[in-house]
Amino acid sequence: MSDLYLRLVNTPVGRTAAQSLGLPAPAPLKRLKRTDQPFIEGKVLIGAANGGKAIATLGSILGASAATLHHASESNRLADSSKAGNKARPLDLASDINQQFSALVFDATGLKGPADLRALYDFFHPTIKKLGSNARVLVIGQNPASCRKAPQAAAQGALEGFVRSVGKEIGKKGSTANLLWMAPGAEKQLDSSVRFFLSARSAYVSGQVVKVGKGNAAPATNPVAPLTGKVALVTGASRGIGAAISETLARDGATVIGLDIPPAMEELEKVTSAINGKALACDITDDKAPKLIADFIEEHFGGVDLVIHNAGITRDKTLGNMPEHFWDMTIAVNLTAEELIDEELAKRELMKENGRIVCISSISGIAGNFGQTNYSTAKCGVIGYVEAMARQLKNGITINAVAPGFIETRMTAAMPVTIREAGRRMNSLSQGGQPVDVAEAIAWYCSPASNGVNGNVVRVCGQSLIGK
């Protein structure tokens, strides 16, 4: 779907007109072009507060991206991916600080109380204006709920407000800011999340907090095709976000079973045949659906690694005007079917070890929306389901959700023009996301290296103003 305003405002005349009228001038977002490109290019400045536990790991992740590490002090380092092979040298703050950075990464795990928050100012104040466009800010902290002392919880909790505000300040240049909460001892699990949040794959993800736990040991993966040998089930795969998820998981090496309702078979087969996948006609609300899906998986593959519950519908009406079948259908497709399919796959032991379940919530589920009590109820139910299941699943299986904001699909193209324009602009990046943005977040959850990423709900919404 096309955002005409975004294209216009990025012409010289359009930019000048937008500036003089005080209108938003969103920057075009850079998305992944090739899977073998470095996850980040340009210079990355890494800093840490005293006692940071992630700094060494951050150094080696960025070092492994053909970056040269320049030690500024014990805590500040410069990773320069444009000068692979350079020997480390001390960072000269006076001159190096005048360069442009593609990312600022700060290890705040060592913050012990409110006074330590000054370290954020000291690191970001002189550098934030040196960020180029489509740049990244990534802060590593810890979950305040896991802090034993109140001052430490205060400092760690403060990081959320910091990151969300930074996201709003840098969003106009297409840049993002996010926070990882690293559990004690989970340094080795940071890799996949640091790579995702510093790369073009997270173009439309900003202002988010992600829990990274210890999980099973993360295996080494082929970064170009990390899902090689995996079997994925994607529901609602014939179009929109589901088609993008199928294509992205196949790009990363997975064999995809695309599922959709029987009337969508022609479209579905176009998607699955282009990626050498299999098409399965099934209405997930049918009583027989869980068994049919499990039988299909058992017969063709013997098991499944990745289950992506993408199928969804809206049936909007204010509550007093809503016919009961609108309520029932919306809850059945968006929530009940997911639970019943997972239950059947678990009962028949078809979910493989280190498997992944991903559910699709929505910012409407988080914030509530006029005329969408049924949809918001279902999508918020998804969050409750994910959080409970994350505590119960065994064998290294994880479950997470994405909560898309305004994504350019047929669903949003059908909106009245004023609501559509508001949806597009009311976020820090002042534009809608693409289906691939949701798919990239799902591919990150699905990576074998994401064993420590469990029980999260990440919004893919450009830091929408809607929601908490």
Among 191, 260, 305, 437, binds ligand NAD (CB under 6 A): 260
By CB neighbour count within 10 A (0-12 exposed, 13-18 middle, 19+ buried), where does 460 fall? buried
Query: Which helix (H) or strand (E) element contains residue 159?
Result: helix 150-170
Q: How far is the CB of 176 from ligand NAD (least distance, A)?
A: 19
Site membership for ligand NAD, residue 409 (CB under 6 A): yes
Size of the site for ligand NAD (CB under 6 A): 27
Site membership for ligand NAD, residue 290 (CB under 6 A): no
Stretch touching ligand NAD by CB under 6 A, among 134-142, 192-200, 233-241, 319-327: 233-241
Long-range CB pairs of 18-22 (<8 Å, 24+ gap) are none
Distances (CA, A) of 440 to 32, 171, 400, 468: 9, 19, 14, 23
d(CA 139, CA 108): 7
Site membership for ligand NAD, residue 69 (CB under 6 A): no
Among 362, 369, 428, 454, binds ligand NAD (CB under 6 A): 362
Site membership for ligand NAD, residue 234 (CB under 6 A): no
Q: How far is the CB of 407 from ligand NAD (least distance, A)?
A: 4
Task: Spell 308-328 as b/e; 16+ CB within 10 A means b.
Answer: bbbbbbbbbeeeeebeeebbe
Site membership for ligand NAD, residue 340 (CB under 6 A): no
Site membership for ligand NAD, residue 249 (CB under 6 A): no
Distances (CA, A) of 298 to 7, 280, 302: 47, 13, 4
Residue keyed to tokens 């300040």: 169
Stretch touching ligand NAD by CB under 6 A, among 20-28, 53-61, 196-204, 410-418: 410-418
Q: Looking at beta carbons only, is 49 or 233 nearer to ligand NAD?
A: 233
Q: Which of residues 5-64 bind ligand NAD (CB under 6 A)?
A: none
d(CA 316, CA 319): 9
Site membership for ligand NAD, residue 186 (CB under 6 A): no
Stretch touching ligand NAD by CB under 6 A, among 11-19, 134-142, 295-303, 399-407: 399-407
Site membership for ligand NAD, residue 407 (CB under 6 A): yes
| Residue 324 tokens, joined | 């009961």
Q: Could you tell me the strand order of the sheet in which 77-80 lies?
A: 68-71, 77-80, 43-48, 101-107, 131-141, 176-182, 209-212
Contact yes or no for 173/100 (Cβ under 8 A): no
Which candidate in 5, 204, 375, 385 is catalytic? 375
**DSSP bridge partners of 176:** 136
Which of 255, 262, 147, 164 lies closest to 208 in space, CA to CA?
A: 164
Q: In the annotation, is 375 catalytic?
A: yes
Site membership for ligand NAD, residue 400 (CB under 6 A): no
Site membership for ligand NAD, residue 311 (CB under 6 A): yes
Site membership for ligand NAD, residue 258 (CB under 6 A): no
d(CA 463, CA 445): 19
Q: Cα-flanking dihedrals φ and ψ of residue 449, to 5°?
A: -80, -5
Site membership for ligand NAD, residue 176 (CB under 6 A): no
Among 18, 411, 426, 465, binds ligand NAD (CB under 6 A): 411
Site membership for ligand NAD, residue 420 (CB under 6 A): no
Among 1, 128, 265, 313, binds ligand NAD (CB under 6 A): 313
Site membership for ligand NAD, residue 235 (CB under 6 A): yes
Site membership for ligand NAD, residue 381 (CB under 6 A): no
Positions in the binding site for ligand NAD (CB under 6 A):
235-236, 238-242, 260-261, 264, 283-285, 310-313, 333, 360, 362, 404, 406-407, 409-412
Q: Which residues are known to be catalytic?
A: 375
